Homo-oligomer: A and B are copies of this chain.
């Protein structure tokens, strides 16, 4: 029998718990450049928010935990409000942990799709309710797609699509391309559903 060590993050202090997904999201942003909690909150709306959401009330405690674990370090400056402003930078240990996490096998899942849940129950309501549902979703995904396409165009103008895998901007571009694919897929599905509804209406 061999003693196996489960790969699940650092235990620097001897008892700290493994880094959460949010922790890795913060680390990934800080790894690019030093940031304040406020700036992180902004990134976690856009663009990181497109694949990992949170609120500032979760960010500040998580930053403290990451610092206690030695994965980031902070410096204080005079702040605009009553409290000092704190800027966080990644440590060598933080970068190492982030790299190790990327290489670790991922759990596929974490699905939470309210629209599909509603569609699953849509047989209970008038087709017109389902139609409104699909139209509403269509509007949302259409607007989102336009935003992403504009960013894609600007990225290409800047030559980001040829920047290479070791360039952070290229990593952004990879996620942006998936965003575009996602919105297009949803849009097509909405159109198909609306089409099905029209076909069911007049025979």
Query: A residues engaging B (CB < 8 A)?
Result: 21, 24-25, 27-28, 31, 48-53, 95, 98-99, 101-103, 105-125, 127, 129-130, 132-133, 136-137, 140, 164-168, 170-172, 174-175, 177-178, 181-182, 184-186, 188-189, 192-193, 196-197, 200
Known: A110-B114, A181-B188. A123 touches B170 (CB 8 A): yes
CB distance from A131 to the nearest CB of B (A): 9
CB distance from A106 to the nearest CB of B (A): 5
CB distance from A143 to the nearest CB of B (A): 10
Main secondary structure of the interface of A (DSSP, over half): helix
A-B contact list, 9 entries, CB within 8 Å: A21-B112, A51-B112, A52-B117, A103-B133, A107-B114, A120-B175, A122-B174, A165-B200, A181-B189
